[in-house]
Amino acid sequence: MFTLLTLGLALWILAHVFKRVAPERRAAMGDKGKGIVAVLLFISLGLMIWGYRGADFIPVWSPPSFMVHINNLLMLVAVFVFGMSATTGRLRGKMRHPQLTAVKIWAVAHLLVNGDLAAIILFGGMLIWAVLEVILINRAEPVWDRPEPGEAKKDVVLVIITLVAYGVMTGLHAWLGVWPFPG
Average pLDDT for the chain:
93
Is the per-residue pLDDT at 23 higher than 90?
Answer: no
- Range with lowest mean pLDDT among 45-54, 70-79, 90-99: 90-99
Average pLDDT over residues 66-74: 94
Report which of residues 178 and 156 the model is more confident about: 156
Is the per-residue pLDDT at 52 higher than 80?
Answer: yes
48, with CB counted inside 10 A (0-12, 13-18, 19+), is: buried
Average pLDDT over residues 164-173: 93
Is the per-residue pLDDT at 135 higher than 80?
Answer: yes
Average pLDDT over residues 60-83: 95
Average pLDDT over residues 84-108: 92
Is the per-residue pLDDT at 169 higher than 70?
Answer: yes
Which among 85, 11, 93 has a CA at the least distance from the CA of 46? 11
Q: Quick check: 44 and 119 in contact, CB under 8 A? A: no
What is the predicted pLDDT for the residue at 183? 64
Average pLDDT over residues 59-63: 95
